[in-house]
Amino acid sequence: MLLAGDIGGTKTDLAIFSVERGPHSPITQTQVHSADYPSLQVLVKEFLEKAKTPVERACFDVAGPVIDGRVKITNLPWVIDEASLAKDLNFKFVHLMNDLEAVARAVPILRASDVITINVGQPVPKGAIAVVAPGTGLGESFLTWDGSKYVSHSSEGGHADFAPTNERQIGLLKYMLKRFDHVSVERVCSGIGIPSIYEYLRDVEQIPERPEIAQAIASATDHTAAITNSAFDEYNPCELCKATVDTFVSILASEAANMALKVMATGGVYLAGGIPLHMAHPAEKLRFIETFKQKGRFSQLMDHIPVHVILNRAALLGSAAYGLESFKEES
């Protein structure tokens, strides 16, 4: 049995897998709010006590850079290292990997039902693949072909500089520079970025804010979800929230295109995380693709690059796949 976990700044998924059933079919699974626990050890012990399944191996993907088996979670006050986890949990084997490396590892084993395609393109067999995942923060990774299989590579590209592409985004950057000494693309292209876009459009561009929407956002535990839900309200959409989502989608499309150019992702771009699921909305899908292709002399190349949205929790799938593969290598 293998314990796999997707450790995020907001939520943590834990599941137990077996070699026989594979990474797509967990034996038992749970999702909790990460901040409700003082450490990963406490969370895992609680889960295993309820599961009552003996486990000696674990593989966790984490939101942060893993260096020499150790990581400080980017948006959570946890410091995790493989040796301490193995000792505290009495495991024979513990492996930590970056969460976007885990998503990348999942890409080659995704099923048709696991994705929706928003740009069919003309994929090049064995071409590089880019992964961009706006969640609580912004994660990025990529895959390259080594001659026999795809190899995943982690990245912290989400913390590179935000590069505005129009007047509204230039204004947003100026607004953010008053609040932070470094404005990474994550600051405006993630769950923590959407409320900032909303505030900029309200306070600087003075798009009117409806009192009931302001109250709903203020009282919500997740401000980003409140904004996006109001933007897509079927009966009474909020114009300020809609402008916020439109701006976010344009920024995401530009960043996804930047990543595609940097790694020559002729094999495609995969969007992961809960926020890109809104790309299925016809208007946002069109906005994304139009912006994605706006690369001047390279517009035709961008048109040929497929873009897919991953529908499942790909990081957990990739983490489980890595851990189960370690069993096979030993045998």
pLDDT in tens, 307-320: 999 998 899 999 99
The predicted structure's pLDDT at residue 75: 72
In this predicted structure, the answer to whether residue 234 has a pLDDT above a threshold of 80 is yes
User: Can you list the alpha helix ranges (DSSP code H) found in 165-238?
Assistant: 167-177, 194-203, 211-219, 223-231
| Separation of alpha carbons 63 and 54, rounded Å | 27
Q: Tell me the domain boundaries of the chain.
A: 2-106+313-330, 158-305
Per-residue confidence (pLDDT) for residue 280, from 0 to 100: 72
Say what the pLDDT of residue 329 is: 66
Which residues, 6+ apart, have CB-to-CB distance to 114 below 8 Å? 310, 311, 312, 314
Determine phi and psi for 117, rounding to 5 degrees. Answer: -105, 125
The pLDDT of residue 251 is: 97
Q: What CATH number labels 2-106+313-330?
A: 3.30.420.40
What rounded mean pLDDT belongs to the chain?
92
pLDDT at position 9 over 80: no
What pLDDT digit, counting tens, does each position of 86-109 carry? Answer: 999 999 999 999 889 999 999 999
Nearest to 201 by CA among 181, 227, 183: 227
Q: What share of the chain in percent tops pLDDT 70? A: 98
Question: pLDDT of 145-187, one tens digit each?
Answer: 999 999 999 888 999 999 999 999 999 999 999 999 999 999 9
Two domains, one topology: 2-106+313-330 and 158-305: no
Query: Can you tell me the mean pLDDT for 222-232?
Result: 92
CB of 55 within 8 A of CB of 4? no
Pick from 91, 34, 100, 89: nearest CA to 66? 100
Cα distance between residue 313 and residue 310, in whole Å: 8
pTM of the entire structure? 0.89
pLDDT at 285 over 90: no
CATH 3.40.367.20 fits 158-305, yes or no: yes
Cβ count near 25 (within 10 Å): 11
pLDDT band at residue 36, thresholds of 50, 70 and 90? very high
